[in-house]
Amino acid sequence: MSRGQLQKLYFSSLGRCNTRLRQLFDHGFVSRYYLPAAPFGAQAIYSIGKAAIPVVAKQVEMDIRTVTKHYRRTQTPTFIEHTLEIVNVRIAFEEAVKQSPEVEIERWLPEMFCRHEYDIRESGSGTWMKEVFKPDAFVRLKQRDSGTYFNYFIEVDLGHTSSRQFLGKLLMHQQYMESGLFNDIFGCEQFRTLVITTTDGRLCNLQRLTQDNFSALCWFATFSCINQFGILGSIWKKPFCSETKYLF
């Protein structure tokens, strides 16, 4: 995360944020990076350091080798860029619910904690194969007065995914819901996939790709619309429609 993101999520002031990051960095609990193409004066990016690996492994109940593998992934520029945008989505939800007292975030799960590896029988052959469902994040909103849940998987699209890869990803989302696995794990029957992308042109391309097969599954928005109108606002588009809708 960037320092600004960390401050928004965990600290009440810039001074406290800087002091804590300095302490964690000096003791090896966080690592600090700068993106290769970052402009002069850009904020540093912080991730866990080597000293934090056993602490994190104990906290999330994972073995050290798995956490070490995730630690090595965090050092690639593409992964960092993608992760920063996922964090921005989380911050957008946090800021939106502060302005909307009728709704709260019941749960937020990053990719590591909504990843689900399972066996599935292949149609036709009857053989079993391993599938890995790994959306970028999951958020569950709760309406305070009615107690109604709204479930969303998040997919952040930065334009690096081919059409075939993107459709394959959404097919896994659809199968995950239709198979009942989502109900087994999350205790609800349905969810919606929110695809957040870079430009209006990219959004239109994704709409065209999905209008025949995934019209009921996914809604689309751009980062600029989220920044301007809020993530709960009337910014969301269905695959077959140019009109915008509120999230719920």
Q: Does residue 97 belong to any structural domain of this protein?
A: no
Instruction: Give me the pLDDT at residue 234, please.
Output: 97
Burial code (b: 16+ CB inside 10 Å, e: under 16) for 36-74 equals eeeeeeeeebbbbbeebbeebbeeeeeeeeebbebbeee
* Residues 134, 64 share a domain: no
Task: Kindly report the average pLDDT of the chain as a whole number.
Answer: 92
User: Which of 121, 124, 131, 133 lies closest to 191 in space, CA to CA?
Assistant: 133
Q: Does residue 121 belong to any structural domain of this protein?
A: yes
Q: Does residue 95 belong to any structural domain of this protein?
A: no
Q: Does residue 89 belong to any structural domain of this protein?
A: no
Q: How many residues does the chain have?
A: 248
The secondary structure of residue 12, as a DSSP letter, is S
Q: Is the pLDDT of residue 106 over 80?
A: yes
pLDDT in tens, 59-99: 988 899 988 888 787 777 888 899 999 999 999 999 999 99
Domain span at 124: 102-248
How many whole angstroms separate alpha carbon 231 and alpha carbon 237? 12
Structural tokens at position 73: 């992934």
* Residues 206, 108 share a domain: yes
Q: What is the mean pLDDT of residues 25-46?
A: 83
| Helix-strand-coil split of the chain, %, nearest 5 | 45, 25, 35
Instruction: Tell me the residue type at 182.
Output: F
- DSSP lists the bridge partners of residue 244 as none
Which of 118-127, 217-226, 237-246 has the weakest average pLDDT? 118-127
* Residues 201, 162 share a domain: yes
* Residues 228, 110 share a domain: yes
Q: How does strand 45-48 pair with strand 137-143? A: unpaired
Handedness of CA 104, 107, 109, 115 (dihedral sign): negative
Q: How many domains does the chain have?
A: 2
pLDDT in tens, 166-210: 999 999 999 999 999 999 999 999 999 999 999 999 999 999 999
* Residues 12, 120 share a domain: no
Instruction: Tell me the residue type at 176.
Output: Y
pLDDT in tens, 208-221: 999 888 888 999 99
How many whole angstroms separate alpha carbon 221 and alpha carbon 138? 16
Structural tokens at position 61: 């109940």
Q: What is the mean pLDDT of residues 46-51?
A: 92
Instruction: Give me the pLDDT at residue 143, please.
Output: 95
Q: Does residue 93 belong to any structural domain of this protein?
A: no
Q: Is the pLDDT of residue 126 over 80?
A: no
Q: Which residue, 32, 60, 75, sits at the end of a domain?
A: 75
Helix (H/G/I), strand (E/B), else coil: 185: helix
pLDDT in tens, 59-69: 988 899 988 88
